[in-house]
Amino acid sequence: MAAEPLRRSVLRSGAFRFAVLFAAVFAIGSLLVLIAVQRQIEGYAVAATDASLRNEMKILRSEYEALGLDGLTEAISRHSHTGKDPQFRFRLVDGSGRVIAGDLPADATLVGPGILKVREVNMAVRGEAIETFKTLGAALPGTFHLVVGTDMFDVRTVVERLRIFTLACGIGITLFALAGGYFVGSLFIRRLNGVNSSVNRIMAGALGERIPTIGLGPEFDELSGNLNLMLDRIQGLMEGLRQVSTDIAHDLRTPLTRLRQNLEGLRGTDTLTGYDAGIEAALEQTDEILAIFRALLRIGTLEGGAGRSRFTRLDLSEMIERVGGAYEPVAEDSEHRLDVELEPGLMVTGDGELLAQMFTNLIENALVHTPPGTCIVLHARRSGEGVIAEVRDDGPGIPAEERDRVFVRFYRLDTSRSTPGSGLGLSLVRAIASLHHVIPILEDNGPGLKIVLKFPPTPQPLPQSAAAIDAGDRT
Protein backbone atom coordinates (compact mmCIF):
# COMPACT_ATOMS: atom_id res chain seq x y z
CA MET A 1 0.00 0.00 0.00
CA ALA A 2 2.86 2.37 0.72
CA ALA A 3 4.29 1.87 -2.75
CA GLU A 4 1.07 2.89 -4.52
CA PRO A 5 1.28 6.64 -3.80
CA LEU A 6 4.91 6.58 -4.88
CA ARG A 7 4.01 4.87 -8.16
CA ARG A 8 1.30 7.40 -8.87
CA SER A 9 3.58 10.30 -8.01
CA VAL A 10 6.32 8.90 -10.23
CA LEU A 11 3.95 8.45 -13.17
CA ARG A 12 2.81 12.06 -12.74
CA SER A 13 6.27 13.48 -12.21
CA GLY A 14 8.07 15.68 -14.67
CA ALA A 15 11.05 13.31 -14.61
CA PHE A 16 8.90 10.39 -15.78
CA ARG A 17 7.19 12.50 -18.46
CA PHE A 18 10.59 13.61 -19.69
CA ALA A 19 11.72 9.98 -19.71
CA VAL A 20 8.63 8.98 -21.72
CA LEU A 21 9.33 11.74 -24.22
CA PHE A 22 12.96 10.70 -24.42
CA ALA A 23 11.91 7.04 -24.82
CA ALA A 24 9.54 7.98 -27.66
CA VAL A 25 12.22 9.98 -29.45
CA PHE A 26 14.78 7.25 -28.88
CA ALA A 27 12.40 4.50 -30.03
CA ILE A 28 11.39 6.41 -33.17
CA GLY A 29 15.02 7.10 -33.97
CA SER A 30 15.97 3.47 -33.41
CA LEU A 31 13.07 2.25 -35.54
CA LEU A 32 14.04 4.59 -38.36
CA VAL A 33 17.61 3.30 -38.20
CA LEU A 34 16.44 -0.32 -38.18
CA ILE A 35 14.02 0.31 -41.07
CA ALA A 36 16.81 1.93 -43.04
CA VAL A 37 19.05 -1.07 -42.34
CA GLN A 38 16.25 -3.43 -43.34
CA ARG A 39 15.70 -1.58 -46.61
CA GLN A 40 19.41 -1.61 -47.35
CA ILE A 41 19.71 -5.35 -46.69
CA GLU A 42 16.54 -6.08 -48.70
CA GLY A 43 17.80 -3.97 -51.56
CA TYR A 44 21.16 -5.66 -51.42
CA ALA A 45 19.53 -9.13 -51.48
CA VAL A 46 17.40 -8.19 -54.50
CA ALA A 47 20.39 -6.68 -56.27
CA ALA A 48 22.43 -9.79 -55.53
CA THR A 49 19.62 -11.96 -56.96
CA ASP A 50 19.47 -9.86 -60.12
CA ALA A 51 23.25 -10.02 -60.47
CA SER A 52 23.24 -13.81 -60.09
CA LEU A 53 20.53 -14.12 -62.79
CA ARG A 54 22.49 -11.92 -65.19
CA ASN A 55 25.68 -13.83 -64.47
CA GLU A 56 23.94 -17.20 -65.08
CA MET A 57 22.42 -15.89 -68.32
CA LYS A 58 25.84 -14.70 -69.45
CA ILE A 59 27.39 -18.10 -68.77
CA LEU A 60 24.67 -19.96 -70.70
CA ARG A 61 24.85 -17.58 -73.66
CA SER A 62 28.57 -18.14 -73.85
CA GLU A 63 27.94 -21.90 -73.80
CA TYR A 64 25.44 -21.49 -76.66
CA GLU A 65 27.81 -19.34 -78.69
CA ALA A 66 30.67 -21.77 -78.18
CA LEU A 67 28.95 -25.19 -78.35
CA GLY A 68 25.61 -24.51 -79.98
CA LEU A 69 22.21 -25.82 -78.96
CA ASP A 70 23.51 -29.18 -77.72
CA GLY A 71 26.12 -27.51 -75.53
CA LEU A 72 23.42 -25.19 -74.13
CA THR A 73 21.01 -28.03 -73.27
CA GLU A 74 23.83 -29.97 -71.67
CA ALA A 75 24.80 -26.94 -69.57
CA ILE A 76 21.15 -26.45 -68.52
CA SER A 77 20.92 -30.09 -67.49
CA ARG A 78 24.17 -29.86 -65.60
CA HIS A 79 23.17 -26.64 -63.76
CA SER A 80 19.73 -28.09 -62.92
CA HIS A 81 21.25 -31.02 -61.04
CA THR A 82 23.90 -29.22 -58.97
CA GLY A 83 22.32 -30.38 -55.69
CA LYS A 84 19.15 -31.29 -53.86
CA ASP A 85 17.91 -27.71 -54.11
CA PRO A 86 19.50 -26.12 -57.19
CA GLN A 87 19.87 -22.38 -57.22
CA PHE A 88 18.45 -21.85 -60.73
CA ARG A 89 15.65 -23.25 -62.86
CA PHE A 90 15.40 -22.84 -66.61
CA ARG A 91 13.13 -22.85 -69.65
CA LEU A 92 14.49 -23.06 -73.23
CA VAL A 93 11.96 -22.87 -76.07
CA ASP A 94 12.24 -22.61 -79.85
CA GLY A 95 10.39 -20.24 -82.12
CA SER A 96 7.25 -22.37 -82.12
CA GLY A 97 7.10 -22.44 -78.32
CA ARG A 98 8.28 -26.03 -77.95
CA VAL A 99 10.15 -26.70 -74.71
CA ILE A 100 13.65 -27.92 -75.38
CA ALA A 101 15.02 -27.91 -71.83
CA GLY A 102 14.10 -26.81 -68.33
CA ASP A 103 11.03 -27.06 -66.12
CA LEU A 104 9.85 -23.48 -65.55
CA PRO A 105 6.12 -23.02 -66.26
CA ALA A 106 4.93 -21.76 -69.61
CA ASP A 107 3.86 -18.35 -68.25
CA ALA A 108 7.48 -17.35 -67.59
CA THR A 109 8.44 -14.04 -69.17
CA LEU A 110 10.50 -14.77 -72.31
CA VAL A 111 12.28 -11.43 -72.55
CA GLY A 112 13.45 -9.24 -69.67
CA PRO A 113 12.91 -9.56 -65.92
CA GLY A 114 9.75 -11.02 -64.46
CA ILE A 115 8.06 -12.45 -61.38
CA LEU A 116 6.64 -15.96 -61.49
CA LYS A 117 4.39 -17.75 -59.00
CA VAL A 118 4.95 -21.51 -58.90
CA ARG A 119 2.95 -24.08 -56.89
CA GLU A 120 5.40 -26.58 -55.45
CA VAL A 121 5.62 -29.18 -52.74
CA ASN A 122 6.97 -27.62 -49.53
CA MET A 123 8.36 -30.11 -47.03
CA ALA A 124 8.33 -27.48 -44.26
CA VAL A 125 4.54 -27.30 -44.32
CA ARG A 126 4.07 -30.88 -45.64
CA GLY A 127 2.02 -29.79 -48.59
CA GLU A 128 1.94 -27.52 -51.56
CA ALA A 129 2.92 -23.89 -51.32
CA ILE A 130 3.22 -20.99 -53.70
CA GLU A 131 6.85 -20.09 -54.37
CA THR A 132 7.86 -16.82 -55.92
CA PHE A 133 10.54 -16.88 -58.60
CA LYS A 134 12.40 -14.00 -60.12
CA THR A 135 13.16 -14.61 -63.78
CA LEU A 136 15.29 -13.16 -66.57
CA GLY A 137 14.49 -13.98 -70.17
CA ALA A 138 16.56 -13.38 -73.32
CA ALA A 139 16.30 -14.14 -77.04
CA LEU A 140 19.08 -16.30 -78.52
CA PRO A 141 20.22 -16.44 -82.14
CA GLY A 142 18.10 -18.92 -84.13
CA THR A 143 14.69 -17.88 -82.67
CA PHE A 144 15.36 -19.53 -79.33
CA HIS A 145 14.35 -18.03 -75.98
CA LEU A 146 16.10 -18.81 -72.70
CA VAL A 147 14.57 -18.02 -69.30
CA VAL A 148 16.62 -18.29 -66.07
CA GLY A 149 14.78 -18.19 -62.70
CA THR A 150 15.66 -18.38 -59.03
CA ASP A 151 13.31 -18.60 -56.06
CA MET A 152 13.02 -15.70 -53.61
CA PHE A 153 12.49 -17.88 -50.52
CA ASP A 154 15.82 -16.97 -48.87
CA VAL A 155 15.38 -13.29 -49.65
CA ARG A 156 11.81 -13.27 -48.29
CA THR A 157 12.96 -15.16 -45.20
CA VAL A 158 15.68 -12.61 -44.52
CA VAL A 159 13.24 -9.72 -45.08
CA GLU A 160 10.60 -11.20 -42.77
CA ARG A 161 13.13 -11.89 -40.08
CA LEU A 162 14.44 -8.35 -40.39
CA ARG A 163 10.92 -6.96 -40.02
CA ILE A 164 10.24 -9.06 -36.95
CA PHE A 165 13.63 -8.09 -35.52
CA THR A 166 12.95 -4.42 -36.20
CA LEU A 167 9.57 -4.55 -34.54
CA ALA A 168 10.87 -6.52 -31.56
CA CYS A 169 13.82 -4.14 -31.11
CA GLY A 170 11.52 -1.12 -31.29
CA ILE A 171 9.22 -2.56 -28.63
CA GLY A 172 12.15 -3.66 -26.48
CA ILE A 173 13.89 -0.28 -26.73
CA THR A 174 10.66 1.52 -25.82
CA LEU A 175 9.98 -0.73 -22.83
CA PHE A 176 13.59 -0.45 -21.66
CA ALA A 177 13.48 3.35 -21.93
CA LEU A 178 10.17 3.46 -20.04
CA ALA A 179 11.55 1.18 -17.31
CA GLY A 180 14.65 3.35 -17.09
CA GLY A 181 12.48 6.48 -16.94
CA TYR A 182 10.39 4.96 -14.16
CA PHE A 183 13.53 4.03 -12.23
CA VAL A 184 15.06 7.49 -12.66
CA GLY A 185 11.74 9.13 -11.82
CA SER A 186 11.40 7.00 -8.68
CA LEU A 187 14.92 7.88 -7.57
CA PHE A 188 14.34 11.56 -8.29
CA ILE A 189 10.99 11.58 -6.46
CA ARG A 190 12.51 9.87 -3.41
CA ARG A 191 15.26 12.47 -3.26
CA LEU A 192 12.77 15.30 -3.72
CA ASN A 193 10.53 13.82 -1.03
CA GLY A 194 13.47 14.06 1.35
CA VAL A 195 14.03 17.68 0.31
CA ASN A 196 10.32 18.49 0.70
CA SER A 197 10.27 16.85 4.14
CA SER A 198 13.18 19.04 5.22
CA VAL A 199 11.50 22.14 3.79
CA ASN A 200 8.27 21.30 5.66
CA ARG A 201 10.19 20.94 8.92
CA ILE A 202 11.91 24.26 8.27
CA MET A 203 8.57 25.96 7.59
CA ALA A 204 7.26 24.42 10.81
CA GLY A 205 9.97 26.27 12.75
CA ALA A 206 12.97 23.91 12.75
CA LEU A 207 15.40 26.54 11.44
CA GLY A 208 18.35 24.28 12.25
CA GLU A 209 17.16 21.75 9.65
CA ARG A 210 19.15 21.60 6.41
CA ILE A 211 18.28 20.29 2.95
CA PRO A 212 19.92 16.92 2.22
CA THR A 213 22.15 16.44 -0.79
CA ILE A 214 20.10 15.35 -3.81
CA GLY A 215 23.05 13.45 -5.29
CA LEU A 216 21.90 13.29 -8.94
CA GLY A 217 24.70 15.48 -10.25
CA PRO A 218 27.03 18.32 -9.25
CA GLU A 219 24.49 20.95 -10.31
CA PHE A 220 21.89 19.54 -7.89
CA ASP A 221 24.49 19.31 -5.10
CA GLU A 222 25.47 22.91 -5.78
CA LEU A 223 21.80 23.91 -5.56
CA SER A 224 21.44 22.11 -2.20
CA GLY A 225 24.59 23.80 -0.93
CA ASN A 226 23.41 27.25 -1.98
CA LEU A 227 20.00 26.68 -0.39
CA ASN A 228 21.67 25.59 2.84
CA LEU A 229 23.87 28.69 2.77
CA MET A 230 20.72 30.76 2.31
CA LEU A 231 19.13 28.96 5.26
CA ASP A 232 22.26 29.63 7.34
CA ARG A 233 21.92 33.30 6.46
CA ILE A 234 18.20 33.33 7.30
CA GLN A 235 18.82 31.53 10.59
CA GLY A 236 21.53 34.03 11.46
CA LEU A 237 19.23 36.92 10.63
CA MET A 238 16.41 35.44 12.68
CA GLU A 239 18.70 34.85 15.64
CA GLY A 240 20.06 38.35 15.22
CA LEU A 241 16.52 39.72 15.11
CA ARG A 242 15.62 37.89 18.30
CA GLN A 243 18.84 39.05 19.93
CA VAL A 244 18.23 42.64 18.82
CA SER A 245 14.68 42.51 20.15
CA THR A 246 15.95 41.22 23.47
CA ASP A 247 18.76 43.77 23.58
CA ILE A 248 16.43 46.64 22.72
CA ALA A 249 13.99 45.59 25.42
CA HIS A 250 16.85 45.31 27.92
CA ASP A 251 18.97 48.33 27.04
CA LEU A 252 16.15 50.78 26.40
CA ARG A 253 14.49 49.96 29.67
CA THR A 254 16.88 52.16 31.65
CA PRO A 255 16.59 55.37 29.55
CA LEU A 256 12.84 54.92 29.22
CA THR A 257 12.53 54.41 32.98
CA ARG A 258 14.58 57.56 33.61
CA LEU A 259 12.43 59.44 31.10
CA ARG A 260 9.26 58.32 32.86
CA GLN A 261 10.64 59.28 36.26
CA ASN A 262 11.59 62.75 35.01
CA LEU A 263 8.15 63.24 33.50
CA GLU A 264 6.51 62.11 36.74
CA GLY A 265 8.77 64.53 38.64
CA LEU A 266 7.45 67.39 36.56
CA ARG A 267 3.99 66.92 38.08
CA GLY A 268 5.14 68.36 41.39
CA THR A 269 7.21 71.16 39.91
CA ASP A 270 5.91 74.59 40.87
CA THR A 271 8.60 76.79 39.35
CA LEU A 272 9.10 77.55 35.69
CA THR A 273 12.86 76.98 36.01
CA GLY A 274 12.38 73.47 37.37
CA TYR A 275 9.83 72.72 34.72
CA ASP A 276 12.17 73.88 31.94
CA ALA A 277 15.03 71.83 33.40
CA GLY A 278 12.84 68.74 33.54
CA ILE A 279 11.71 69.23 29.95
CA GLU A 280 15.33 69.69 28.82
CA ALA A 281 16.38 66.48 30.57
CA ALA A 282 13.44 64.60 29.03
CA LEU A 283 14.37 65.87 25.56
CA GLU A 284 17.99 64.78 26.01
CA GLN A 285 16.88 61.30 27.03
CA THR A 286 14.46 61.17 24.07
CA ASP A 287 17.29 62.19 21.71
CA GLU A 288 19.43 59.43 23.21
CA ILE A 289 16.69 56.87 22.53
CA LEU A 290 16.18 58.16 18.96
CA ALA A 291 19.93 57.99 18.35
CA ILE A 292 19.89 54.34 19.40
CA PHE A 293 17.06 53.58 16.97
CA ARG A 294 18.82 55.44 14.12
CA ALA A 295 21.99 53.45 14.77
CA LEU A 296 20.01 50.19 14.76
CA LEU A 297 18.32 51.12 11.50
CA ARG A 298 21.65 51.95 9.89
CA ILE A 299 23.20 48.69 11.07
CA GLY A 300 20.23 46.68 9.78
CA THR A 301 20.32 48.50 6.43
CA LEU A 302 24.04 47.90 6.00
CA GLU A 303 23.82 44.25 6.99
CA GLY A 304 21.10 43.85 4.35
CA GLY A 305 23.61 44.90 1.67
CA ALA A 306 22.15 48.32 0.85
CA GLY A 307 24.69 50.99 -0.05
CA ARG A 308 26.88 49.19 -2.61
CA SER A 309 25.25 51.17 -5.41
CA ARG A 310 27.24 54.21 -4.15
CA PHE A 311 30.63 52.49 -4.35
CA THR A 312 33.37 54.31 -6.26
CA ARG A 313 37.16 54.27 -6.42
CA LEU A 314 38.44 56.61 -3.72
CA ASP A 315 41.70 57.70 -2.12
CA LEU A 316 41.70 56.07 1.32
CA SER A 317 44.83 57.99 2.36
CA GLU A 318 43.18 61.36 1.71
CA MET A 319 39.97 60.30 3.49
CA ILE A 320 41.78 59.05 6.64
CA GLU A 321 43.95 62.15 6.73
CA ARG A 322 40.84 64.33 6.54
CA VAL A 323 39.14 62.44 9.38
CA GLY A 324 42.31 62.52 11.47
CA GLY A 325 42.68 66.25 10.93
CA ALA A 326 39.10 66.82 12.08
CA TYR A 327 39.68 64.87 15.33
CA GLU A 328 43.10 66.25 16.29
CA PRO A 329 41.53 69.18 18.24
CA VAL A 330 39.08 66.78 19.91
CA ALA A 331 41.98 64.54 20.96
CA GLU A 332 43.89 67.52 22.36
CA ASP A 333 40.86 68.66 24.37
CA SER A 334 40.60 65.21 25.97
CA GLU A 335 44.40 65.15 26.62
CA HIS A 336 45.03 62.45 23.97
CA ARG A 337 47.48 62.46 21.10
CA LEU A 338 46.35 61.51 17.58
CA ASP A 339 49.04 60.59 15.02
CA VAL A 340 48.44 59.82 11.33
CA GLU A 341 50.88 57.54 9.47
CA LEU A 342 49.81 56.97 5.87
CA GLU A 343 51.26 55.87 2.58
CA PRO A 344 49.98 58.28 -0.09
CA GLY A 345 47.66 57.26 -2.89
CA LEU A 346 46.04 54.18 -1.31
CA MET A 347 43.06 53.48 -3.59
CA VAL A 348 40.11 51.29 -2.55
CA THR A 349 36.54 50.70 -3.74
CA GLY A 350 33.76 51.79 -1.42
CA ASP A 351 31.45 54.48 -0.10
CA GLY A 352 33.54 57.40 1.13
CA GLU A 353 30.95 58.64 3.66
CA LEU A 354 30.49 55.19 5.20
CA LEU A 355 34.23 54.59 5.44
CA ALA A 356 34.66 57.99 7.07
CA GLN A 357 31.90 57.02 9.55
CA MET A 358 33.75 53.76 10.28
CA PHE A 359 37.05 55.48 11.09
CA THR A 360 35.20 58.17 13.03
CA ASN A 361 33.58 55.53 15.25
CA LEU A 362 36.94 53.82 15.82
CA ILE A 363 38.61 57.10 16.82
CA GLU A 364 35.74 58.07 19.14
CA ASN A 365 35.78 54.60 20.68
CA ALA A 366 39.49 54.98 21.43
CA LEU A 367 39.04 58.50 22.82
CA VAL A 368 36.17 57.48 25.10
CA HIS A 369 37.60 54.22 26.45
CA THR A 370 41.25 55.17 27.02
CA PRO A 371 42.64 57.42 29.75
CA PRO A 372 44.20 60.84 29.17
CA GLY A 373 47.72 60.69 27.80
CA THR A 374 46.95 57.79 25.45
CA CYS A 375 48.43 57.94 21.95
CA ILE A 376 46.08 56.95 19.12
CA VAL A 377 47.60 56.14 15.73
CA LEU A 378 45.87 55.97 12.34
CA HIS A 379 48.02 53.85 10.03
CA ALA A 380 47.50 52.63 6.45
CA ARG A 381 49.84 50.85 4.02
CA ARG A 382 49.90 48.66 0.96
CA SER A 383 50.00 44.90 1.43
CA GLY A 384 50.39 42.94 -1.78
CA GLU A 385 47.57 44.11 -4.04
CA GLY A 386 45.38 45.21 -1.12
CA VAL A 387 45.45 47.85 1.59
CA ILE A 388 45.70 47.39 5.35
CA ALA A 389 44.47 50.13 7.70
CA GLU A 390 44.99 50.13 11.46
CA VAL A 391 43.66 52.11 14.40
CA ARG A 392 45.84 51.41 17.45
CA ASP A 393 46.37 52.88 20.87
CA ASP A 394 48.54 52.27 23.93
CA GLY A 395 45.65 52.28 26.41
CA PRO A 396 44.38 49.45 28.61
CA GLY A 397 43.18 47.38 25.64
CA ILE A 398 40.48 44.69 25.61
CA PRO A 399 40.89 41.22 27.15
CA ALA A 400 41.33 38.50 24.50
CA GLU A 401 38.21 36.63 25.60
CA GLU A 402 36.10 39.79 25.13
CA ARG A 403 37.31 40.85 21.68
CA ASP A 404 34.80 38.82 19.65
CA ARG A 405 31.89 40.14 21.73
CA VAL A 406 32.51 43.87 21.46
CA PHE A 407 30.99 43.92 17.96
CA VAL A 408 27.67 42.60 19.29
CA ARG A 409 24.90 45.19 19.53
CA PHE A 410 24.59 46.86 22.96
CA TYR A 411 27.53 44.88 24.38
CA ARG A 412 29.76 46.92 26.70
CA LEU A 413 32.68 45.95 28.86
CA ASP A 414 32.22 46.23 32.59
CA THR A 415 34.92 48.93 32.68
CA SER A 416 33.00 50.99 30.08
CA ARG A 417 29.55 51.04 31.65
CA SER A 418 30.31 54.29 33.44
CA THR A 419 31.10 56.06 30.15
CA PRO A 420 28.42 57.47 27.83
CA GLY A 421 27.34 55.39 24.86
CA SER A 422 24.89 52.74 23.71
CA GLY A 423 27.24 49.91 22.73
CA LEU A 424 26.42 50.29 19.01
CA GLY A 425 29.54 52.06 17.75
CA LEU A 426 31.58 48.94 17.01
CA SER A 427 28.48 47.15 15.69
CA LEU A 428 28.16 49.90 13.10
CA VAL A 429 31.89 49.54 12.34
CA ARG A 430 31.44 45.82 11.67
CA ALA A 431 28.37 46.45 9.47
CA ILE A 432 30.24 49.02 7.33
CA ALA A 433 33.31 46.77 7.12
CA SER A 434 31.20 43.78 6.09
CA LEU A 435 29.53 45.85 3.36
CA HIS A 436 33.03 46.55 1.97
CA HIS A 437 34.12 42.89 2.36
CA VAL A 438 36.50 43.89 5.12
CA ILE A 439 36.85 41.87 8.34
CA PRO A 440 37.91 43.92 11.38
CA ILE A 441 40.44 42.03 13.52
CA LEU A 442 41.23 43.02 17.11
CA GLU A 443 44.81 42.38 18.19
CA ASP A 444 47.01 43.14 21.18
CA ASN A 445 49.11 46.28 20.61
CA GLY A 446 51.33 45.58 23.64
CA PRO A 447 50.10 47.64 25.42
CA GLY A 448 46.76 48.71 24.09
CA LEU A 449 44.48 47.62 21.29
CA LYS A 450 45.03 47.40 17.54
CA ILE A 451 42.11 47.12 15.11
CA VAL A 452 43.23 45.83 11.69
CA LEU A 453 41.13 46.42 8.56
CA LYS A 454 42.26 44.56 5.43
CA PHE A 455 40.68 45.84 2.22
CA PRO A 456 40.27 43.37 -0.68
CA PRO A 457 42.76 43.66 -3.56
CA THR A 458 40.13 43.80 -6.33
CA PRO A 459 36.85 45.70 -6.56
CA GLN A 460 33.83 43.66 -5.50
CA PRO A 461 30.93 43.28 -7.99
CA LEU A 462 28.21 45.83 -7.52
CA PRO A 463 24.49 44.89 -7.61
CA GLN A 464 22.28 46.28 -10.35
CA SER A 465 20.00 47.96 -7.84
CA ALA A 466 20.34 48.61 -4.13
CA ALA A 467 18.69 51.02 -1.77
CA ALA A 468 20.81 54.01 -0.81
CA ILE A 469 21.25 54.97 2.81
CA ASP A 470 19.66 58.17 3.94
CA ALA A 471 22.46 60.70 4.13
CA GLY A 472 20.78 62.34 7.10
CA ASP A 473 21.35 59.21 9.17
CA ARG A 474 25.14 59.39 8.76
CA THR A 475 26.10 61.39 11.81
Q: What is the pLDDT of residue 422?
A: 54
* Residues 295 and 422: beta-carbon distance below 8 Å: yes
What tens-digit pLDDT sequence spans the chain (475 residues)? Answer: 444 444 445 566 666 677 777 777 777 777 788 778 878 887 888 888 889 989 989 999 898 888 888 888 888 888 887 767 788 889 899 888 888 888 888 888 788 888 888 776 555 555 567 778 889 889 988 888 999 988 887 778 877 887 788 778 778 877 877 777 777 777 777 777 777 888 888 888 777 788 777 666 677 778 778 888 888 878 777 776 676 666 666 666 667 777 777 777 777 677 777 777 778 878 877 877 776 666 666 666 666 555 666 788 889 899 899 988 888 888 888 899 999 888 888 888 888 888 888 898 888 888 888 889 899 999 999 887 788 999 988 888 777 777 676 666 555 554 444 445 555 667 778 888 888 888 888 888 888 888 899 988 755 444 433 333 333 333 3
Per-residue DSSP letter, 376: E
Give the Cα-Cα-Cα angle 213, 233, 463 (nearest 5 degrees). Answer: 105
Domains of the chain: 304-473 (3.30.565.10)
Query: Could you read off the pLDDT of 265-320 as tens digits, one per residue?
Result: 777 677 777 777 778 878 877 877 776 666 666 666 666 555 666 788 889 899 89
Contact 133, 116 (CB under 8 A): yes
What pairs with residue 449 in β-bridges?
444
Selection from 172, 249, 234, 174 nearest residue 202 by Cα? 234
Count CB-CB contacts under 10 A for residue 271: 8
Please, which residues have CB within 8 angstroms of residue 191's CB and are 6 or more apart in sequence? 212, 214, 215, 216
